[in-house]
């Protein structure tokens, strides 16, 4: 099973149990729907209810991205793995501040662990920044509310971003500060684009479990967003996305020619850059490591689902949740 990314304008149409992509020039290509878990749409695309019904049958999700390549929404088939018991306990852990804080702290501890993991490979250059983050990490356990916890996490990330110019060895790229609405330079564009893909990947894996993606702990639960995906993405952004960005830049796989500007201050990846990024992202997600508890090879993508299962066990009282901390 794989994710399929569509960049060309056209129409997705169904004939019996087969899906065709009909391009604007009339070219027809078969979409291997039996082998697809997620369809990512980066172009203008037409389809009808017959197509949607087949996606429901095959349990395939549709994810949509805007002109700049950033996530804008999803169509997800009717949830098949539902549990009222999990929903009730998931909500109860939000309403109880101590229970909510514990889970939120686990997300922050994991994020900090992976940030420090990236920085320690360059400790001679960023030693002072590492010390600052370690000092901030010690304050996580003392946070009395979610706002304070988020404030600590924000300070950690601000300090972490100061290390980027030491980790990135390509002189064509320079990182001043994090700017995301909108991203104003290539590195900000890469971070925003990577975070968008990471959010979608987490959401896709979460839908294979009984978790409700709208009930969250670190980010405030709210309408019109899957805030639990934002929570779990905090674990994987420094572990997966930041490392991917460093690799793409330092190996000159992504170059300045892969970016475009709108009104001189909005920077985004062009189609070629997005395809390079997605190809390497999918390669990274398929990469396996030897899981020390399962005692078998496990892909990075499946690690996300395992994190969901661990959280469910905590919510129903089976096992205390300890967020992932890469050991390899």
- Positions at the binding site for Mn(2+): 153, 219, 234
Q: At what angle do helices 97-120 and 84-95 cross, to 10 degrees?
A: 90
Residues sharing a CB contact under 8 Å with residue 186, sequence separation 6 or more, in sequence order: 173, 254, 256, 259, 267
Binding residues: 153, 219, 234
Strands of the sheet containing 10-15, edge to edge, are: 28-31, 18-23, 10-15, 45-46
- Say if CB 240 and CB 289 are below 8 A apart: no
How many whole angstroms separate alpha carbon 222 and alpha carbon 125? 40
How many whole angstroms separate alpha carbon 59 and alpha carbon 35? 11
Matching residue, tokens 């390899």: 328
Helices within 145-242 (DSSP H only): 146-161, 164-167, 186-206, 227-236
- Say if CB 63 and CB 289 are below 8 A apart: no
- Say if CB 187 and CB 193 are below 8 A apart: no
**Of how many residues is the chain composed?**
328
């Amino acid at each position: 099973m794989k994710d399929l990314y569509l960049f060309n304008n056209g129409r997705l149409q169904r004939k019996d149990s087969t899906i065709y992509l009909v391009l604007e020039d009339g070219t027809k290509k078969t979409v291997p729907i039996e082998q697809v878990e997620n369809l990512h749409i980066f172009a203008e695309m037409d389809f009808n209810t017959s197509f949607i019904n087949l996606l429901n049958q095959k349990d395939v999700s549709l994810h949509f991205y805007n002109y700049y390549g950033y996530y804008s929404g999803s169509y997800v088939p009717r949830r098949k793995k539902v549990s009222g018991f999990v929903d009730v306990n998931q909500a109860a852990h939000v309403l109880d501040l101590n229970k909510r804080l514990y889970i939120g702290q686990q997300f922050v501890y994991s994020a900090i662990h992976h940030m420090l993991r990236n920085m320690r490979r360059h400790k001679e250059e960023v030693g002072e920044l590492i010390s600052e983050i370690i000092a901030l990490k010690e304050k996580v356990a003392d946070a009395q509310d979610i706002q304070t916890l988020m404030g600590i996490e924000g300070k950690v990330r601000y300090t972490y971003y100061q290390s980027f110019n030491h980790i990135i060895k390509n002189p064509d790229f320079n990182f001043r500060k994090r700017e995301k609405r909108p991203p104003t330079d290539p590195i900000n564009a890469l971070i925003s684009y990577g975070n968008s893909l990471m959010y979608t990947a987490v959401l896709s894996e979460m839908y294979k479990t009984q978790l409700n993606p709208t009930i969250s702990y670190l980010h405030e639960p709210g309408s019109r967003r899957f805030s639990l995906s934002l929570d779990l993405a905090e674990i994987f952004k420094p572990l997966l996305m930041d490392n991917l960005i460093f690799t793409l830049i330092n190996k000159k796989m992504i170059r300045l020619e892969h970016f475009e500007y709108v009104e001189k201050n909005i920077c985004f990846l062009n189609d070629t850059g997005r395809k390079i990024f997605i190809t390497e992202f999918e390669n990274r997600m398929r990469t396996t490591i030897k899981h020390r508890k399962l005692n078998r090879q496990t892909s990075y993508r499946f690690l996300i689902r395992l994190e969901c299962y661990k959280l469910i066990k905590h919510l129903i009282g089976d096992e205390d949740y300890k967020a992932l901390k890469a050991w390899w």
